[in-house]
Amino acid sequence: MKALSQKRRHPLAAVALLLMGLLVTGGLYAAASSVNEAQAASAYSASDIEEGNKLFIANCATCHGMNAEGTDSGPSLIGVGAASVDFQVGTGRMPMQMQGPQAQAKPVQFDEEQTRQLAAYVASLAPGPAVPESKWLDSSLGNSAEGGEIFRVNCAMCHNAVGAGGALTRGKFAPSLDGVTEKHIYEAMATGPQNMPVFNDSNITPEDKRDVITFLKEVEATGSPGGAELGSLGPVSEGLFVWTAGLGIIIAFTIWLTSRPS
């Protein structure tokens, strides 16, 4: 008993227990996530996956590789999930029109069925975020006040406080969220396209994502009753415009007065 007690008091015992606890917790979390995502992937039929593979080889393999393993021209798609494909293809960002700092939205190339098939194929390669269920996209069930707080804390530094968009570095930008569908807003949060971070369900829960969607749709419906919205920056931009224009008029008037012969 004395020897056992001495082993328990060993200086490394606490470290060993901590590591064991972390390994067990991480393993259980990974297993649960894999099961949920695998179930999401199994929602697609074998024919969806087969047709998606054909579409992928014909339209995407040049950049992403024949098996979606990635190339010098495009990243690997293994593990990105159906949600990433649905967002990128559903907004027209993919296939890219041209190489550039980031993929830009354009008219979509594939219809809804083809987009679903492409998503099915990529989802079959490895677990990843699934296309959200309709209950998480119903903005009437969300809390706009809570969503606005979450948005300002996590998104406003790039997208502006009301989702008007903004400039980033190296020619990249955070796009305006006006007119973006509820599904694509949710998928962007879940997959982190371009420079955007990934907000998985541990960071922002599905309920919170729905609240953010509710906030953005409320802002979109409110509009700008005061006329030109000036980038939705409110009194900051309006005051800056008045100050700059007014100061310019004063300077011009001063120069005009001093230039007159006495």
**225 pLDDT band (50/70/90 cuts)?**
low
Q: Could you tell me if 152 and 124 lie in one domain?
A: no
Q: Could you tell me if 82 and 147 lie in one domain?
A: no
Q: Could you tell me if 181 and 202 lie in one domain?
A: yes
Q: How far apart are the first and last CA of the chain?
A: 109
Q: Could you tell me if 154 and 120 lie in one domain?
A: no
**Contact between 128 and 80 (Cβ < 8 Å):** yes
pLDDT of the residue at 18: 72
33 bridge partner residues = none
Rounded average pLDDT over 34-49: 68
Q: Could you tell me if 137 and 65 lie in one domain?
A: no
pLDDT at 105 over 60: yes
**17 pLDDT band (50/70/90 cuts)?**
low
- 193 located within any domain: yes
- 256 located within any domain: no
Rounded average pLDDT over 9-30: 67
pLDDT of the residue at 37: 46
Q: Could you tell me if 108 and 143 lie in one domain?
A: no
Mean pLDDT of the chain, nearest integer = 86
Q: Could you tell me if 112 and 145 lie in one domain?
A: no
pLDDT at 78 over 90: yes
Q: Could you tell me if 141 and 116 lie in one domain?
A: no
- 91 located within any domain: yes
Q: Domain range for residue 68?
A: 39-131
How many residues are listed for the chain in this entry? 262
pLDDT at 2 over 60: no
- What's the CATH number where 202 sits? 1.10.760
Contacts of 82 (CB under 8 A, 6+ apart): 40, 41, 44, 119, 120, 122, 123, 128, 129, 130, 131
Residue 247's Cβ-side half-sphere holds a number of Cα atoms within 13 Å equal to 6
**Range scoring the smallest mean pLDDT among 20-24, 64-68, 168-172, 217-221:** 20-24
Reading phi first (left if > 0) and then psi (alpha if -120 to 50, else beta), residue 48 is in: alpha
Total count of domains within the chain: 2
Whole-angstrom distance, CA of residue 181 vs CA of residue 191? 15
Ranges assigned E (strand) in 119-261? 166-167, 173-174
Rounded average pLDDT over 43-51: 92
**Contact between 187 and 126 (Cβ < 8 Å):** no
The 10s digit of each residue's pLDDT in 115-152 is 999 999 999 999 999 999 999 999 999 999 999 999 99
Q: Could you tell me if 199 and 95 lie in one domain?
A: no
pLDDT of the residue at 93: 95
